[in-house]
Amino acid sequence: MPFPGFENIFCLGEPFANRPFRGSLRESDRGLDHDAIASGRVVPSQPIRIVPYGGRELTDFIWTDYVGIRLVSRRLVSLLRDSGIAGWSTFPVEVYGREGEVMSGFDGFAVTGRCGKFDPAKSLPFLKRMPGGVFPHFKGRFFRPDSWDGSDVFSPEGTTFLFVTRAVYDVLRRGGARNVEYRPITEMEFGDFEKSLMEKRLRET
């Protein structure tokens, strides 16, 4: 698949609304490698236990207190599978409500697609006014296009960001996916300290 252009890539995230159910991994096995599970490198032999952390309304996305662990409804799983979307897999979870009841119909969502590390040299510098003054900032989280493996769903190396192509964006929007925020990666901002961290990671390649 040809590279779609940075303008056709979006970062999916939590909108932090009050009503949707939010989960916690505080009762899950502390020996689990959550990063490996979130990236699809490991599939847990037993369902990961998810307990309430906030909200009550069940939606297509359930976000948790561990940023890499996300849940999606079986409706969304079917929608992505039927649309031929590549770069993801699922893992077993058990979601519990406030009264201890099991809330079925959800799977853990692992991101198996990959691209390379962020390259801040590709980002646009600008000055941002903040409460403490004006500080250097940068716009656009970019990577080498040839480092992208062609997946519709993918994470940049060394991160838990959930990036998707416009094909996924269109499928989710048409399907009415709830409790998810879409942000073009060309509009994502970061500060000077994070830029230094990105540069350090690139040097360690």
Q: What is the mean pLDDT of residues 92-101?
A: 95
3-state secondary structure string across the chain: CCCCCHHHEEEEECCCCCCECEEECCCCCCCCCHHHHHCCCCCCCCCEEEEEEECCECCCEEEECCCCCEEEEHHHHHHHHHCCCCCEEEECEEEECCCCCECCCEEEEEECEEECCECHHHCEEEEEEECCEEEEEEECCCECHHHCCCCCEEEECCCCCEEEEHHHHHHHHHCCCCCCEEEEHHHCEEEHHHHHHHHHHHHCC
Binned at pLDDT 50, 70 and 90, residue 57 comes out as very high
Residue 172 has pLDDT above 90, yes or no: yes
- Which pLDDT tens digit goes with each residue over 132-152? 889 999 999 999 999 999 999
Task: Look at residue 5 and tell me if it is in a domain.
Answer: no
Residue 65 has pLDDT above 90, yes or no: yes
Binned at pLDDT 50, 70 and 90, residue 130 comes out as confident
Task: Look at residue 3 and tell me if it is in a domain.
Answer: no
How far apart, in whole angstroms, are the C-alpha atoms of residue 31 and residue 34? 9
- Which pLDDT tens digit goes with each residue over 21-44? 999 999 887 788 999 999 999 999
Q: Do 85 and 171 contact (CB within 8 A), yes or no?
A: yes
Mean pLDDT score of the chain, rounded to an integer?
Answer: 95
Task: Look at residue 192 and tell me if it is in a domain.
Answer: yes
Domain residue limits at 83: 10-203
Strand-pairing partners, residue 9, are 165
pLDDT for residue 29: 76
Q: What is the mean pLDDT of residues 85-90?
A: 98
Task: Look at residue 2 and tell me if it is in a domain.
Answer: no
How far apart, in whole angstroms, are the C-alpha atoms of residue 178 and residue 55? 14
Q: Do 43 and 93 contact (CB within 8 A), yes or no?
A: no
Task: Look at residue 55 and tell me if it is in a domain.
Answer: yes
pLDDT for residue 31: 81
Total domain count, the chain: 1
pLDDT for residue 62: 98
- Which pLDDT tens digit goes with each residue over 177-194? 999 999 999 999 999 999
Name residues whose C-beta falls within 8 Å of residue 46's C-beta, 6 or more positions apart in sequence.
Answer: 29, 92
Task: Look at residue 195 and tell me if it is in a domain.
Answer: yes
Task: Look at residue 169 and tell me if it is in a domain.
Answer: yes
How far apart, in whole angstroms, are the C-alpha atoms of residue 164 and residue 182? 9
